[in-house]
A and B are shown apart, each in its own frame.
Chain A
Amino acid sequence: MSPFVTLLTRDLRLAARSGGGAALALSFFALVATLVPLGVGADLKLLARVAGGILWVGAVLSALLSLDRLFQGDYEDGSLEIIALSPLALEAAALAKIAAHWLSTGLPLTLLSPLLALMFNLDPASTLTLFLSLLIGTPAVSAVGAIGASLTLSLKRGGLILPLIVLPLLAPAVIFGAGAVAQVQDGLAGGGGLGALGLLAAFSFAAVLLSPFAAAYSVRLNLDG
């Protein structure tokens, strides 16, 4: 097995066995989606209207929950130094961790979203768009989040600063993701919300491409002392 895959499977296993894996993030996501109708009322028309935005915001928040541990656990027990010393480039290691985080949160959240969309009375075409937008966009959440996680990895209470750093940077993902759904709902997009989805894909691609470098750089600075 290549070191990349080894690190990826190790992180996935750690997420599944110690952190409760996807279950916690999924429960949180479902809870946010349950609280919203309690807050805004059970009007199905209104809920369908806000579903794209609410589910996108909920997914971003749920993915953020486990982000602060992305590097922190490995930093505290010293395995991050071993990873840094290994032949695997730290950038690739960061990418492996981003991938593991996405597979254990972003992907399950995406898979759950059609069910929640159903409860929000979203029509099938919009649900498909929401599903696609989450599939395309949640990697960006993990990637941008990894930068925040690497910057705050030495902090005891980094969990509070992380969202403050990461959420403004994720505004484009929320805008394009929820925007794609709104485009379909308004019947604006001829290509099934392709305009917003294309922009989302571009943002996500750039984030996944660039953030391993930023994250690796900042991990290195934390290890150098």
Chain B
Amino acid sequence: MQFLFRYANPANFMRLSGAVLPFTAIGAALALATGLYLSFSVPPDYQQGATVKILFLHVPAATMAMGVYVAIAICSFLSLVWRHPLSDTAARAAAPLGAMFTVVGLITGALWGKPMWGTYWVWDGRLTSFLLLLFIYLGYMALWNAIEDEVRAARAAAILALVGAVNIPIIKFSVEWWNTLHQGETITTGKLASVYVAPLLTMMLGYALLFVTLWMMRIRTAILERRARNLMQGAAS
């Protein structure tokens, strides 16, 4: 824990993130470029044709959408237990990124669904639980923005994030239960052919590095904004 506390200090965080940021940014660019190149160079699937390549954009986005929520929940827990302002900043900074990953996951899923299932949207368990996840992100961000007092907003948002973290598995379970009850569509799930593993993993790495880069940038911006605000208030009074 001692390790965590050291970097919970904004000044230390600024120093560390400033040093790490160029590497994650370059890493993200390299991984995404390589991943995209690999995605285009793999042979088309015998069944799905070229649309299989949407997978390389879709799966990492969906994984990140859930991973980011886990990150928010962990930050919220840290913030409620140890009252570290930096973890609030981190949770808030991650939310729009998570929402964007969810949107990317939904859009790429819809674009894949049209040629494969013949429709952009099916009320499938996974799609629906992702749509609900998007609404949970939106509600979380709306709560942050609605409460003016920053400390209160942070705590309220943290409580909501944790309530959501408890509830999301239940939502996922219930939606999947509901889907099997009304099962009409069967989604063929074959094992991933080995040629597709490399581009998929590369893209996942790229998405993860992209998230870390953008997350750190957003946290840094928030810290700098707070400093600027404090300076202006100091100058005004």
Contact = CB atoms under 8 A, between A and B. Distances in A.
Partners in one complex: yes
A154 B152 contact: yes
Nearest to B166: A210
B159 interface: yes
A203 B171 CA distance: 10
A92 interface: no
A164 B177 contact: no
Interface string A171-188: 110011001001100001
Contacts of A214: 159, 162-163
A190 to B, nearest CB: 15
Q: Bin the interface of chain A by size.
A: 20 to 34
Query: B-side binding surface: helix, strand, loop or mixed?
Result: helix
A161 B155 CA distance: 16
A121 interface: no
Interface in A156-209: 157-158, 161, 164-165, 167-169, 171-172, 175-176, 179, 182-183, 188, 199, 203
A221 interface: yes
Nearest to B136: A168
B171 A218 contact: no
Interface string A141-159: 0000001000110110110
A176 B178 CA distance: 8
A168 B132 contact: yes
Contacts of A152: 143, 146, 156
Contact of B143 (A161, A172, A176, A199): A161
Contacts of A179: 177-178, 181
B143 A151 contact: yes
B163 A221 contact: no
B156 A218 contact: yes
A75 interface: no
Contacts of B177: 175-176, 179, 199
Contact of B152 (A203, A217, A221): A221
Nearest to A221: B155
Contacts of A157: 146
B147 interface: yes
Contacts of B182: 182
A165 B152 contact: no
A171 B174 contact: yes
Contacts of A151: 143, 156, 159-160
A222 interface: yes
Given A151-B143, A151-B159, A175-B174, 7 more contacts: A147-B160, A161-B146, A165-B140, A168-B139, A171-B171, A214-B159, A218-B156
Interface of B: 132, 135-136, 138-140, 142-143, 146-147, 149, 152, 155-156, 159-160, 162-164, 166-167, 170-171, 173-175, 177-178, 181-182
12 contacts: A147-B160, A154-B152, A158-B146, A164-B139, A165-B143, A172-B167, A172-B173, A176-B174, A182-B182, A203-B174, A214-B162, A218-B155
> What are the 8 tightest A-B residue pairs by CB atom distance, in nearest-first order?
A172-B174, A165-B139, A164-B139, A168-B135, A175-B178, A175-B174, A221-B155, A151-B156
